[in-house]
Amino acid sequence: MRKDLPGVKRRNLLLTTGIGFGTTEQGLRRRKSVRGSSISPETSQLNLKVTQAGSKPLEELIKVEEKKK
């Protein structure tokens, strides 16, 4: 997910640096498939960090579903 790309669709962008592509060679560009900055039902994973405690506990906000084996 890129901050500078609006929407939720995947797009093929020609990247030189930034989120999704890093290089040590100067002038190297690569076409990568990246997703926009909005969250959709197709988003499979979010990595985040809690910086402040809110009025409700996290267990109440995030309901964890147990998967059957």
Q: Which residues pair with 14 in a beta bridge?
A: 31
Look at residue 10 and tell me if it is in a domain. yes
User: Does the residue 51 lie in any domain?
Assistant: no
27-43 pLDDT per residue, tens: 788 888 787 778 888 77
Please state which of the ranges 14-18, 19-23, 30-34 shows the lowest mean pLDDT.
Answer: 19-23
pLDDT at 8 over 70: yes
Closest CA to 12 of 29, 30, 28, 33: 33
Contact 19, 2 (CB under 8 A): yes
User: Residue 31: inside a domain, yes or no?
Assistant: yes
Assigned domain for 68 exists: no
- The model's pLDDT over 42-69, given as tens digits with 9 standing for 90+, comes to 778 888 888 988 898 878 877 777 777 6
Number of domains, the chain: 1
Judge whether 61 lies within some domain. no
Write down the pLDDT at residue 1.
65
Q: Is residue 53 part of a domain?
A: no
* Containing structural domain, residue 25: 1-39
pTM of the model: 0.46
